[in-house]
Amino acid sequence: MELDPAEAELKAVLNRLRRAQGQIAGVVRMIEEGRDCEEVVTQLAAASRALDRAGFSIVATGLRRCLAEEADGGRSREDGDEMRGRLERLFLSLA
């Protein structure tokens, strides 16, 4: 399944990933500056949640697309089952 960055849902994912990228850069700076451990971990947890949400959004987009293609007749039931299985494994890799 290829991603289309023009899709509204994926634009939101890209924004979330850019925000997480900034948070991770901030965590690196905080460590380099010797900042408080609690502050560093709090920021790292926020970045981790943003990455998780981005991953779940990508899997959900793929699942919706797979089901829509099957309903439209663009994908056979067997192909759809295979794709759902692959998406399920991706989902579980994030959990």
Angle between helices 37-71 and 8-32 (to 10 degrees): 160
| Comparison of pLDDT for 31 and 4, the residue scoring more | 31
pLDDT (mean) for 3-10 = 73
Place of tokens 């494994």: 89
pLDDT (mean) for 2-7 = 68
pLDDT band at 10 (very low <50, low <70, confident <90, very high): confident
pLDDT of residue 3: 67
Write out the DSSP string of the chain. ----TTSHHHHHHHHHHHHHHHHHHHHHHHHHTT--HHHHHHHHHHHHHHHHHHHHHHHHHHHHHHHHHHHTTSS-HHHHHHHHHHHHHHHHHH-
The 10s digit of each residue's pLDDT in 46-58 is: 999 999 989 888 8
Query: What pTM, to 2 d.p., does this model score?
Result: 0.71
